[in-house]
């Protein structure tokens, strides 16, 4: 006889996921602000580091609670995977913002503004999925959010391709090419990671529905 219904659930996980989603939205918004402003790089780098630290703290809370939980609302492995992948999104965007500062890329490269818009939208939609996890229902709204992230990843691929071509056509300084190629690869990888995270969350919700 399955007696799991007698054991306490752990709704705190859903609260932590929603909190982590807020940090994802913050870092996406910060990248978009930097793209539009494109100055005060050290200030943006510090703000990004603060968001990254906050996301790390929430992720540690999730892992610690996971280690002490008797029963969890979804599979333990899924909770761990979602937390780590979401934290990676924040880490990667923070790294991009920090590298723009470290590399002293004072002239905005082609494709950065479009990438920032796409990534900001990715972050908003990832936060929606994390917040919707608590329902454990595969609703039309949930499906539309997953589909949106897949579409955004496709846009990211196209922006990357055009940006790389433009970079090699226009840039004369080989060191500048290397720096911007590194940034563009990371920007594209963020969209890939968000799509991958959406697929993981989708799989969890399908199992729970």
Q: Which tens digit of pLDDT belongs to each residue from 134-167?
A: 888 899 999 999 999 999 999 999 999 999 999 9
Please determine, for residue 1, whether its predicted confidence score (pLDDT) is greater than 90: no
Q: Alpha-carbon distance 91 to 110, whole Å?
A: 23
- Looking at CATH, the fold of the domain delimited by 10-208 is given as Methane Monooxygenase Hydroxylase; Chain G, domain 1 (1.20.58)
Please determine, for residue 18, whether its predicted confidence score (pLDDT) is greater than 90: yes
Q: What is the mean pLDDT of the chain?
A: 92
Confidence band for 3, pLDDT divided at 50, 70 and 90: very low
């Amino acid at each position: 006889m399955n007696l799991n219904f007698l054991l306490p659930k752990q709704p705190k996980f859903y609260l932590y996921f929603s909190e982590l989603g807020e940090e994802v939205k913050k870092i996406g918004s910060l990248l978009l602000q930097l793209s539009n402003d494109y100055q005060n790089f050290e200030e943006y780098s510090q703000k990004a580091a603060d968001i990254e630290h906050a996301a790390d703290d929430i992720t540690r809370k999730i892992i610690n609670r996971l280690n002490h939980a008797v029963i969890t609302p979804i599979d333990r492995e899924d909770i761990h995977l979602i937390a780590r992948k979401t934290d990676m999104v924040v880490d990667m965007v923070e790294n991009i913002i920090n590298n723009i500062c470290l590399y002293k890329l004072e002239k905005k490269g082609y494709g950065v503004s479009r990438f920032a818009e796409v990534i900001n939208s990715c972050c908003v939609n990832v936060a929606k999925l994390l917040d919707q996890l608590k329902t454990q229902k595969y609703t039309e709204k949930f499906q539309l959010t997953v589909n949106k992230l897949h579409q955004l990843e496709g846009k990211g691929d196209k922006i990357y391709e055009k940006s790389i071509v433009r970079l090699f056509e226009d840039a004369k300084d080989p060191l500048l090419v290397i720096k911007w190629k590194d940034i563009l690869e990371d920007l594209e990888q963020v969209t890939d990671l968000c799509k991958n995270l959406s697929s993981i969350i989708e799989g969890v919700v399908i199992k729970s529905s």
